[in-house]
């Protein structure tokens, strides 16, 4: 600080506000605040807030180290892989069923459910399906049926405390296909009920478009590119896609975005 007004220090902090480390910022504030006129740091906070907002990181200094509380205790990230071919086969059947339990406060993964499912109508995977998803025949042969997997999902949900009425959770998918088309369609074909917790979800594409102002035409690839994130794992691997969804959600949350249900009630 060069004089009683502390102008040189404020100019320094102002110049590097967007990059200044949070711990050093705090120490600098403690060191120089006794030397500054009242209200100077309040003005500095406003400067930092504007700089953070210009970089897409929310409207307050808190965005540098935390993010706003979400509406849900847990997000359940889901991404099915299903039998497929060109031209498309009917009915399609789920062959990979992954779920990541994401803590709504920390946006960290707390638990994983992951099973492969044996198709029954078209039990033999096509070469196109294996090339697209990376799932080979031996990964689905002898695996539980969809009915059995759904029963295990329910057991996992109970074990994780997600069936407690006081716990708010919601599924998150990359698009509406998984829970609007694929699961209810196959359950209808097999005569299986669809649990109520599968009937509301967040479409990450819509959430991203609300947060970033552009529609991700190429799904996860566009969202990772728009947020300067590295793609995790193999495209069209259900469990890897879930990890990418979780990473994108965490990044948006750190930017101050609050996730809301996008599906319409059934």
Q: What is the pLDDT of residue 67?
A: 80
Q: 10 Å Cβ neighbour count for 135? A: 21
Q: Which of 93, 96, 236, 254 is catalytic?
A: 236
Is 108 assigned a catalytic role? no
Report if residue 55 sits inside a domain: no
Question: Helix 238-254 and helix 204-212: axis angle, to 10°?
Answer: 30
| DSSP calls for 97-110 | EEEEEEETTT--EE
Number of domains in the chain: 1
Q: What is the pLDDT of residue 232?
A: 96
CB-based contact 72:259 (threshold 8 Å): yes
d(CA 69, CA 168): 13
> What CATH code is carried by the domain that includes residue 148?
3.30.420.10
Report if residue 101 sits inside a domain: yes
Q: What residue spans of the chain are helical by DSSP H?
A: 7-15, 22-32, 40-54, 127-133, 137-140, 146-159, 183-190, 204-212, 220-226, 238-254
Report if residue 157 sits inside a domain: yes
Task: Give the residue among 32, 31, 29 at the shortest CA–CA distance from 20.
Answer: 29
CB-based contact 238:79 (threshold 8 Å): yes
d(CA 263, CA 266): 9
Give every residue of the chain whose pLDDT is below 50, as ranges: 1-65
CA distances from 221 to 23, 74, 231 (A): 34, 24, 7
Tell me the CB-side half-sphere exposure of residue 212, using CA atoms within 13 A: 21
Q: Is the pTM above the cut of 0.85?
A: no
Domain extent, residue 106, equals: 74-255
Is 81 assigned a catalytic role? yes
Report if residue 39 sits inside a domain: no
Q: What is the pLDDT of residue 236?
A: 95
User: C-alpha dihedral over 76, 211, 251, 109, to 10 degrees?
Assistant: -10
Report if residue 132 sits inside a domain: yes
Percent helix, strand, coil in the chain (nearest 5)?
Answer: 45, 10, 45
d(CA 242, CA 37): 51
Q: Which of 81, 93, 96, 160 is catalytic?
A: 81
Report if residue 14 sits inside a domain: no
Report if residue 177 sits inside a domain: yes
Q: What is the pLDDT of residue 249?
A: 98
Report if residue 40 sits inside a domain: no
d(CA 105, CA 68): 9
Q: What is the pLDDT of residue 266?
A: 58
């Amino acid at each position: 600080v060069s004089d009683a007004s502390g102008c040189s220090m404020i100019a320094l902090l102002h110049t590097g506000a967007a990059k200044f480390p949070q711990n050093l910022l705090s120490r600098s504030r403690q060191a120089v605040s006794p030397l500054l006129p009242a209200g100077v740091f309040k003005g500095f906070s406003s400067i930092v807030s504007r700089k953070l907002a210009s970089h897409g990181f929310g409207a307050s200094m808190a965005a540098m180290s935390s993010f706003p509380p979400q509406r849900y205790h847990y997000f359940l990230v889901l991404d099915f892989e299903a039998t497929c071919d060109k031209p498309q086969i009917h009915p399609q059947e789920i062959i990979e069923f992954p779920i990541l339990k994401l803590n709504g406060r920390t946006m960290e993964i707390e638990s994983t459910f992951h099973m492969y499912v044996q198709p029954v109508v078209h039990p033999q995977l096509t070469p196109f399906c294996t090339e697209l998803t990376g799932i080979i025949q031996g990964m689905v042969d002898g695996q539980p049926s969809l009915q059995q997997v759904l029963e295990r999902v329910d057991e996992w949900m109970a074990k994780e405390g997600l069936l407690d009425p006081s716990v708010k959770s919601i599924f998150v998918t990359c698009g509406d296909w998984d829970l609007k088309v694929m699961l209810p369609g196959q359950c209808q074909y097999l005569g299986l009920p669809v649990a109520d917790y599968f009937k509301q979800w967040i479409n990450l594409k819509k959430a991203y478009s609300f947060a970033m102002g552009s529609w991700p035409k190429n799904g996860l690839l566009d969202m990772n590119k728009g947020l300067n994130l590295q793609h995790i794992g193999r495209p069209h691997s259900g469990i890897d896609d879930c990890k990418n969804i979780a990473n994108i959600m965490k990044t948006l949350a750190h930017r101050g975005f609050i996730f809301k249900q996008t599906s319409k009630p059934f």
